[in-house]
């Protein structure tokens, strides 16, 4: 069931972003006088298609991992004499550059719209309050302590942990001072420390964790929020609202400690000491044996935690007016663009592992999680992925939009196109690079499973 949900989330996510990207190419091509033969969402044989009054075929194809806009082009076959003026190859380098750049531009515009929408509707986030500081870390050298709320990093405002993570990612591998402004008990103070070449050397880096900060989380008591039908918990007589105090006589600190004990005891009977309606009682339960996707055997009883509310003073609601939201949305989009470019730079320089490349499987899983989390998370995920798609397509790699822009720019400078041999060699190199990255990203996806 989860596989189906992830697949559907991937199809919807890529369908939205691909349609937006290709529509950018299509819209500008039409206005530059180029005849568009086909607008396809997906690759392969069309499952559905229709033609408009200009003769353009709009199609939805069977493989939902991309899309394309096919234009009248002399390189792909003979063009009727009366349609030569509508051929892509007959347009000036400036118009061809505009058409190639329109796809990524549409992705950036969509991200701006998405962030504008979230800004107008209002976004609720958790205040970035320090929960704990790891010994020997940069955070400890800086003098951070539990209870401090981080309000800026190197002078850049930090409204949430996402902002802080992005700022720390930018400083990875650097030397010199990193500065943070914090608030504690109503007073603000400045803290700084020498990075000393602090690096992100894990396969899946978490800048905040590696910096030495554990974000504050409210305590989660071992209280059952739900009991699944047909599960071992229901068979043992457990009910929603039961507060588990101890397992086999050993006190349970919180929900996570309870889960750890249950998972470590498949098919072993456990005696739970619990409180129900103010009375203490004991219940025997035997966790069912369950094998995870990575081959581990754990115990499950079929019960869920009772949700915990965050303290009101920890919640931050941000909302802008219709006009004030525009510069904020542009700033958020620019921030995502910088973060993507920084991540690419750090991968190239070795400060960030290539194991962080993600393919369709990871995108599907994150898409499914964001859909499950609600409207805000899904729209924010779409916006960030749209920016990433726009940035990657602008890289000067042949076969990508950026590679086409590079070729057309050189043609404008030289006043003649590059030779067919040079362009063909560039396409082969670009295809090899893209296929290598795709295979590597897919391999990373499978390893994460």
Q: What is the DSSP string of 364-426?
A: HHHHHHHHHH-HHHHHHHHHHHHHHHHHHHTSS-TTSHHHHHHHHHHHHHHTSPPPHHHHHHH
List C-alpha distances in Å: 29 to 40, 106, 308, 319, 346.
Answer: 15, 13, 53, 37, 35
CB atoms closer than 10 angstroms to residue 378: 20
Q: How many domains, in total, are found in the chain?
A: 3
pTM (two decimals): 0.79
Distance CA 405, CA 430 (A): 14
Residues 338 and 438 in one domain: yes
Residues 420 and 295 in one domain: no
Distance CA 54, CA 80 (A): 16
Read off the pLDDT of residues 242-256 as tens digits, 9 standing for 90 and up.
Answer: 999 999 999 999 999
Contacts of 229 (CB under 8 A, 6+ apart): none
Residues 181 and 296 in one domain: no
Instruction: Give backbone dihedrals phi and psi of 38, rounded to 5 degrees, phi first.
Output: -150, 140
Q: Is 22 a catalytic residue?
A: yes
- What is the H or E stretch that residue 150 is in? strand 149-153
Residues 353 and 414 in one domain: yes
Yes or no: say if 430 and 422 are a contact pair by the CB < 8 Å rule: no
Yes or no: say if 258 and 245 are a contact pair by the CB < 8 Å rule: no
pLDDT in the model for residue 201: 61
Yes or no: say if 41 and 15 are a contact pair by the CB < 8 Å rule: yes
pLDDT in the model for residue 75: 84
**Position 374 in a domain:** yes
Distance CA 73, CA 229 (A): 61
Distance CA 433, CA 43 (A): 20
Distance CA 106, CA 101 (A): 9
Domain range enclosing 187 = 125-218+309-318
| Lookup: tokens for 400 | 């990508």
**Position 435 in a domain:** yes
pLDDT in the model for residue 372: 65
Distance CA 103, CA 20 (A): 8
pLDDT in the model for residue 210: 86
CB atoms closer than 10 angstroms to residue 158: 23
Yes or no: say if 24 and 105 are a contact pair by the CB < 8 Å rule: yes
Marked catalytic residue, from 5, 22, 156, 174: 22
**Position 281 in a domain:** yes
Distance CA 281, CA 271 (A): 10
Distance CA 329, CA 113 (A): 7
pLDDT in the model for residue 204: 58
Distance CA 81, CA 84 (A): 5
Residues 329 and 435 in one domain: yes
Yes or no: say if 218 and 308 are a contact pair by the CB < 8 Å rule: yes
Nearest to 398 by CA among 416, 424, 436: 424
Distance CA 223, CA 234 (A): 15
Looking at 305, 337, 352, the residue that finishes a domain is: 305
pLDDT in the model for residue 288: 92
Nearest to 138 by CA among 201, 216, 215, 208: 208
Nearest to 178 by CA among 204, 133, 143, 128: 143
**Position 433 in a domain:** yes
Low pLDDT (below 50) residues in the chain: none
Residues 343 and 405 in one domain: yes
Distance CA 183, CA 191 (A): 11
CB atoms closer than 10 angstroms to residue 2: 8
pLDDT in the model for residue 185: 87
**Position 201 in a domain:** yes
Contacts of 314 (CB under 8 A, 6+ apart): 126, 127, 129, 216, 218
CB atoms closer than 10 angstroms to residue 267: 11
Distance CA 19, CA 7 (A): 18
Residues 210 and 352 in one domain: no
Looking at 274, 291, 318, the residue that finishes a domain is: 318
Nearest to 83 by CA among 55, 43, 102: 55
**Position 84 in a domain:** no
Residues 263 and 139 in one domain: no
Q: Where are the alpha helices (DSSP H) in 32-172?
A: 93-121, 138-142, 161-171
Secondary-structure percent of the chain, ordered helix, strand, coil, rounded to 5: 45, 25, 30
Residues 183 and 314 in one domain: yes
Residues 244 and 206 in one domain: no
Read off the pLDDT of residues 321-353 as tens digits, 9 standing for 90 and up.
Answer: 999 999 999 999 998 898 888 888 877 777 666
Residues 258 and 141 in one domain: no
């Amino acid at each position: 069931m989860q596989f189906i949900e992830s697949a559907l989330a991937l199809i919807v996510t890529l369908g939205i972003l691909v349609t937006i990207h290709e529509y950018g190419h299509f819209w500008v091509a039409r206005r530059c006088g180029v005849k568009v033969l086909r607008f396809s969402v997906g690759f392969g044989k069309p499952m559905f298609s229709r033609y408009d009054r200009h003769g353009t075929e709009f199609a939805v194809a069977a493989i939902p991992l991309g899309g394309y806009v096919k234009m009248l082009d002399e390189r792909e076959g003979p063009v009727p004499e009366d349609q030569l003026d509508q051929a892509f190859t007959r347009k000036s380098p400036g118009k061809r550059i505009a058409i190639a750049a329109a796809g990524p531009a549409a992705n950036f515009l969509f991200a701006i719209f998405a962030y504008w929408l979230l800004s107008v509707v209002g976004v609720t986030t958790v205040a970035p309050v320090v929960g704990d500081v790891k010994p020997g870390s940069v955070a400890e050298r800086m003098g951070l302590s539990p209870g401090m709320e981080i309000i800026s990093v190197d002078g850049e405002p930090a409204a949430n942990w996402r902002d802080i993570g992005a700022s720390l990612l930018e400083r990875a591998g650097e030397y010199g001072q990193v500065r943070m402004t914090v608030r504690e008990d109503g007073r603000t103070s400045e803290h700084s420390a020498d990075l000393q070449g602090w690096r992100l050397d894990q396969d899946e880096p978490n800048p905040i964790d590696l910096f030495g900060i554990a974000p504050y989380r409210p305590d989660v008591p071992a209280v059952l929020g739900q009991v699944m039908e047909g599960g071992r918990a229901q068979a043992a007589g457990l009910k929603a609202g039961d507060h588990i105090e101890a397992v086999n006589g050993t006190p349970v600190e919180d929900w996570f400690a309870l889960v750890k004990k249950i998972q470590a005891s498949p098919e072993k009977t456990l005696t739970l000491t619990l409180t129900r309606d103010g009375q203490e009682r004991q219940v025997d339960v035997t966790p069912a044996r369950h094998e995870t996707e990575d081959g581990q055997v754990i115990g499950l009883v079929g019960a869920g935690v009772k949700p915990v509310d965050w303290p009101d003073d920890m919640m931050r609601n941000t909302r802008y007016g219709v006009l004030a939201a525009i510069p904020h949305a542009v700033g958020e989009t620019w921030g995502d663009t910088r973060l993507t470019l920084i991540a690419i730079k750090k991968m190239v320089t070795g400060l960030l592992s290539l194991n962080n490349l993600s393919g369709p499987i990871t995108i599907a899983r994150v898409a499914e999680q964001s859909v499950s989390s609600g409207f805000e998370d899904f729209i924010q995920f779409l916006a960030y992925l749209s920016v990433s798609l726009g940035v990657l397509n602008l890289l000067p790699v042949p076969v990508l939009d950026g590679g086409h822009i590079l070729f057309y720019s050189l043609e404008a400078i030289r006043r003649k196109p590059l030779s067919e041999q040079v362009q063909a060699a560039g396409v082969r190199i670009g295809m090899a690079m893209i296929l290598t990255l795709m295979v590597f990203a897919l391999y990373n996806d499978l390893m994460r499973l």
